A and B are shown apart, each in its own frame.
Chain A
């Protein structure tokens, strides 16, 4: 080993040692630092009566309301109906979006006939069609499912289409030389190549589903987390409003993480910059 490499190695270990002393906290804790700090300030401000309880109840009060609702089973009940709505709408719209995206992605003809109309509809703000939905389908479950499914449809449709179209022609040529069947081309070339885009679409679809679930439940329902929030607002139970918001945040984060886990498992082959 010559002198230069010895120096290099020393410099390397030096930098590593410095890095170690610089990060005494476990990695996962970093994301929690800011929320914890804010919560502490909030709690102190509430205890000192700097903010009104009906506007901003102390975190401890919200936690107590959370515990109370969880214990009575009310929370589970609301969550269950929300899950069924969001999940049902998402599955309906997402599946159609995925299939149509593959369909228009594969065929020039399908793209020419379908895509322009869909692209136009995509730009209509969904919230603007809610009155129409209520008019047509009432305020019952059907209009909620449909609203959520339309919201879930577009991101998956759009990104699946993009994914199918982003396939490298060079790999297509390879599949020709290797005599892939039509089905093999679909499942072994087009699908894996489009998967990064499809998963991105999935993630956005899941997000939109939750957003529209909240809207749908607030426009009139007798159960669900959105209903719980709306109901609590009427009775000035701000702590319960917060419980609802926290629930949405938690479930949203959980479903997002689920998609992230899928990405890690299915897209580990990608050679991308990881920070």
Chain B
């Protein structure tokens, strides 16, 4: 279980300190799929980096299974916006990375993962030969090989076209249903947030804080065209619009 309590984060900037995160409080049960949505600057990526242990300059407590997060590690798999593959390694070696393929067990798991992320036949291909979606699937397989306790995804499908993105969302749900990995998924796409998450965390900027958490009580696989999906989507959307309102009011005041 992931517990975040009284989390504050400030960045130093030339024009003074900027509060990136203000009093974040959140609990995520093991195996839960949580999506984070909010306008840019609301600190959702910063929050993810803190959970990953990539950013340790914060106040408050962030605990995974009761233990404070001390630094990055394989139990907290991270999928970045870009695939970040090693360009000099082919697909299977990228997935194995610092584990040796000569190890029979590693080799077997890599094969299974290649099957899972639907990349059969591309084991020997190099990153330059892959499309964006394929490369991102390699990155996901690389994280999964380490059997992460929680998978942190920072707008992983943001750069993909609509078709590939839908496909990738299905692949990700497949993986989640198979492995029951806890998922923290940051996105700026409303549909994606509602389609994937059991809970949608809506965040507000200036300073970044959690505005609302909406439970999406729909069975998987979800149908985007379904009426209950649309209903929940508009609920999230209306919350989201409230987020935007203050900015408009300020604008109107001038």
Contact B82 A170 (CB under 8 A): yes
Contact B84 A178 (CB under 8 A): no
Which of B54, B71, B87, B98 neighbours the largest number of chain A CB atoms within 10 Å of its CB?
Answer: B98
Contacts of A72 in B (CB 8 A): none
Contact A171 B84 (CB under 8 A): yes
With A171-B86, A177-B78, A188-B98 as known contacts, state yes or no: A269 contacts B54, CB within 8 Å: no
Indicate if B74 sits at the interface (CB-CB under 8 A): yes
Indicate if A260 sits at the interface (CB-CB under 8 A): no
Indicate if A174 sits at the interface (CB-CB under 8 A): yes
Q: In the complex the two chains form, what is the Cα distance from A174 to B94 in whole Å? A: 11
Interface size in chain A (residues, C-beta < 8 A): 20
With beta carbons under 8 angstroms apart, the residue of A173, A192, A271 that contacts B86 is: A192
Contact B126 A269 (CB under 8 A): yes
With A192-B88, A269-B126, A270-B87 as known contacts, state yes or no: A179 contacts B98, CB within 8 Å: yes
With beta carbons under 8 angstroms apart, the residue of B77, B86, B127 that contacts A177 is: B77
Contacts of B118 in A (CB 8 A): none
Q: In the complex the two chains form, what is the Cα distance from A192 to B94 in whole Å? A: 13
Q: Which residue of B lies closest to A174 (CB)?
A: B84
What sequence of 0s and 1s flags, for each residue 105-140 of chain B, a beta carbon within 8 Å of any chain A beta carbon?
000000000000000000000111000000000000
Minimum CB–CB distance for A269 against chain B, Å: 4
Contact A177 B74 (CB under 8 A): yes
Q: In the complex the two chains form, what is the Cα distance from A188 to B87 in whole Å? A: 12
Q: Which residue of B lies closest to A185 (CB)?
A: B98
Minimum CB–CB distance for A196 against chain B, Å: 10
Contacts of A184 in B (CB 8 A): 98
Indicate if A162 sits at the interface (CB-CB under 8 A): no
Q: In the complex the two chains form, what is the Cα distance from A179 to B146 in whole Å? A: 10
What sequence of 0s and 1s flags, for each residue 79-103 of chain B, a beta carbon within 8 Å of any chain A beta carbon?
0101010111100000001100000
Indicate if A176 sits at the interface (CB-CB under 8 A): yes
Contacts of B126 in A (CB 8 A): 269
Contact A176 B98 (CB under 8 A): no
Contacts of A269 in B (CB 8 A): 87-89, 126-128
Indicate if A180 sits at the interface (CB-CB under 8 A): yes
Scan residues 148-207 of chain A and give those whose CB is less than 8 A from a CB of chain B.
Answer: 170-171, 173-181, 184, 188-189, 192-193, 195
Q: In the complex the two chains form, what is the Cα distance from A180 to B74 in whole Å? A: 10
Q: In the complex the two chains form, what is the Cα distance from A273 to B218 in whole Å? A: 49
Contacts of A175 in B (CB 8 A): 98
Contact A178 B88 (CB under 8 A): no
Minimum CB–CB distance for B51 against chain A, Å: 12
Contact B86 A176 (CB under 8 A): no
Q: In the complex the two chains form, what is the Cα distance from A176 to B97 in whole Å? A: 12
With A171-B84, A177-B78, A189-B86 as known contacts, state yes or no: A271 contacts B146, CB within 8 Å: no
Contact A178 B142 (CB under 8 A): yes
With beta carbons under 8 angstroms apart, the residue of A178, A192, A195, A271 that contacts B97 is: A178
Contact A178 B74 (CB under 8 A): yes
With beta carbons under 8 angstroms apart, the residue of B52, B73, B80, B128 that contacts A179 is: B73
Indicate if B9 sits at the interface (CB-CB under 8 A): no
With beta carbons under 8 angstroms apart, the residue of B72, B89, B127, B146 that contacts A176 is: B72
What sequence of 0s and 1s flags, for each residue 143-167 of chain B, a beta carbon within 8 Å of any chain A beta carbon?
0001000000000000000000000
Indicate if B44 sits at the interface (CB-CB under 8 A): no
Indicate if B209 sits at the interface (CB-CB under 8 A): no
Contacts of B233 in A (CB 8 A): none
Q: Which residue of B lies closest to A170 (CB)?
A: B84
Contact A176 B88 (CB under 8 A): no
Q: In the complex the two chains form, what is the Cα distance from A95 to B76 in whole Å? A: 40
Contact B98 A177 (CB under 8 A): no
Minimum CB–CB distance for A162 against chain B, Å: 18
What sequence of 0s and 1s flags, for each residue 20-64 of chain A, a beta carbon within 8 Å of any chain B beta carbon?
000000000000000000000000000000000000000000000
Q: In the complex the two chains form, what is the Cα distance from A189 to B84 in whole Å? A: 12
Interface pairs A-B: 6 shortest CB-CB: A271-B128, A176-B72, A269-B88, A192-B88, A177-B72, A177-B78
Q: Which residues of A contact B (CB under 8 A)?
A: 170-171, 173-181, 184, 188-189, 192-193, 195, 269-271
Task: Name 10 extra pairs, CB < 8 A, besides A269-B87, A269-B127.
Answer: A173-B80, A174-B84, A179-B72, A179-B74, A180-B97, A181-B98, A195-B88, A269-B88, A269-B89, A269-B128
18 residue pairs of the A-B complex, CB under 8 angstroms, read A170-B84, A173-B54, A174-B80, A175-B98, A176-B54, A176-B71, A177-B52, A177-B72, A177-B77, A178-B97, A179-B98, A180-B97, A184-B98, A188-B98, A192-B86, A195-B88, A270-B87, A270-B128
